[in-house]
């Protein structure tokens, strides 16, 4: 069997690309379908997913993504090879309508083979957490930020282009079967190994119409997706009642409160949008007490990547029952910096914690950065997921803020 195409048959390289692509697609589609169904169950806070369910969903998604990346590179190689090859003519070129439909399906397939895996890869890179690609080359993509808007848009494009792919595949298979069963010509056999070259195709005039129609189909598909809200950025989830402004000797001007957990060995970082700090503080040059701090955190204001809804559920933060966390700390200057010690009340549990932090003072302005590690199980969070490999026990907390003396702020 020759490696290159001829005007009458496909070569070994083209046939290998064709059947490898088919195998990868027929593997990726059911993996994605089953994984998506499991992920909906895992992320539903009312269902309380177990370690085994999370691990199964993550594994299937990882396999789906890994196969999808393989599809992307195989498709690029296939397209580049096709550009260098003679394309065997259609055996039914005299039937202009049917020949045009076949060309249309092929152009839709070429577009989908690139757009489906690429949009899925972008969605993965833009989303925080859940199911890594199983390869050693990292999880990010150049120029793709971790962004809910980018993730929503790319996820929608992935879904819409997947529907186009499935429709084109069905049309492609139906056409091949028609040629084999009804027309009884050599079209299908030309792509199978072990068959001869087949008859000489009739010459047909070239037309750009199928490419144009394929472009219109893609525009219509993405347009319908946008019209139905699939391509719009997600609206922010309700954050619950905002915490009231507190009286404080130092008014917080800006700051962030972040947490990072390990899910299936991959870090997932989130932040609380609504929290307050009531601070009393008097600087001193020697070790000793310097003030107090009371921090209140609105739990429903947490965003935690793709698992935000799950994190709010009863087995985790149970935000509906316990909407606030409160830390009451005594601030002390140490020989190397500062530390705040006191109880953290979260989900009905109270645990003594220590938050070491660095402090920079510039007149009446203070900038602090601090970090500590918590054990989620100490607060009864995620007790159904006791396996540290599925969901890490440790939670890294980082806080930074800039505050001004109340008198200076006023």
Q: What domains, with CATH codes, occur in the chain?
A: 12-227 (1.20.950), 250-409 (2.40.128.110)
* Average pLDDT taken over every residue of the chain: 87
The average pLDDT across 115-130 equals 88
The secondary structure of residue 224, as a DSSP letter, is: H
Is 201's pLDDT higher than 90?
no
Percent of the chain with pLDDT over 70: 91
Is 45's pLDDT higher than 60?
no
Q: What is the pTM of this model?
A: 0.74
What angle is formed at CA 102 by the lines to CA 98 and CA 103, rounded to 5 degrees? 120
Q: What is the pLDDT of residue 165?
A: 96
In the 3-class helix/strand/coil scheme, how is 102-157 assigned residue by residue? HHHHHHHHHHHHHHHHHHHHHHHHHCCCCCCCCCCCCCCCCCCCCCHHHHHHHHHH
Is 410's pLDDT higher than 50?
no
Residue-wise pLDDT tens digits, 258-280:
999 988 777 888 899 999 999 99
**Helix-, strand-, coil-residue percentages of the chain, each rounded to 5:** 40, 25, 35
Q: What is the pLDDT of residue 92?
A: 82
Say if CB 282 and CB 291 are below 8 A apart: yes
Residue-wise pLDDT tens digits, 131-161:
889 998 988 899 999 887 888 888 889 999 9
Say if CB 20 and CB 73 are below 8 A apart: no
């Amino acid at each position: 069997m020759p490696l290159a195409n001829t005007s009458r048959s496909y070569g070994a390289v083209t046939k290998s690309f064709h059947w490898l692509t088919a195998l990868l697609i027929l593997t990726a589609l059911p993996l994605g379908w089953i994984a998506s169904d499991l992920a909906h169950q895992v992320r539903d806070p009312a269902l309380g997913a177990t370690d085994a369910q999370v691990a199964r969903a993550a594994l299937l998604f990882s396999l789906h993504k890994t196969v999808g990346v393989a599809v992307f590179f195989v498709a690029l190689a296939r397209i580049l090879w096709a550009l260098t090859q003679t394309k065997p003519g259609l055996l039914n070129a005299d039937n202009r309508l049917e020949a045009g439909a076949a060309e249309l399906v092929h152009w839709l397939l070429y577009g989908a083979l690139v757009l489906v895996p690429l949009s899925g890869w972008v969605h993965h890179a833009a989303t925080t957490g859940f199911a890594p690609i199983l390869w050693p080359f990292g999880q990010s993509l150049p120029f793709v930020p971790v962004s809910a808007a980018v993730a929503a848009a790319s996820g929608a494009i992935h879904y819409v282009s997947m529907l186009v792919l499935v429709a084109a595949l069905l049309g492609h298979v139906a056409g091949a079967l028609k040629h084999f069963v009804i027309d009884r010509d050599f079209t299908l056999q030309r792509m199978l190994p072990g068959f001869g070259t087949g008859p000489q195709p009739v010459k047909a005039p070239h037309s750009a119409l199928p490419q144009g129609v394929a472009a219109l189909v893609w525009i219509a598909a993405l347009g319908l997706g946008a019209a139905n809200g699939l391509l719009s950025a997600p609206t922010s989830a309700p954050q619950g009642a905002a915490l009231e402004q507190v009286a404080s000797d130092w008014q917080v001007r800006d700051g962030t409160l972040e947490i990072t957990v390990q899910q299936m060995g991959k870090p997932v970082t989130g932040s609380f949008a609504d929290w307050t700090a009531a601070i009393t503080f008097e600087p001193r040059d020697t070790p000793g007490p310097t003030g107090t701090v009371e921090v209140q955190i609105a739990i429903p204001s947490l965003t935690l990547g793709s698992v935000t809804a799950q994190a709010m559920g009863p087995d985790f933060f149970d935000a509906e029952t316990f909407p606030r966390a409160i830390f009451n700390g005594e601030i002390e200057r140490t020989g190397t910096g500062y530390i705040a010690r006191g109880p953290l009340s979260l989900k009905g549990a109270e645990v003594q914690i220590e938050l070491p932090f660095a402090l920079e003072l510039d007149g009446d302005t203070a900038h602090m950065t601090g970090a500590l590690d918590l054990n989620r199980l100490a607060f009864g969070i995620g007790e159904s997921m006791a396996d540290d490999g599925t969901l890490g026990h440790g939670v890294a907390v980082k806080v930074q803020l800039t505050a001004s003396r109340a008198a200076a702020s006023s």
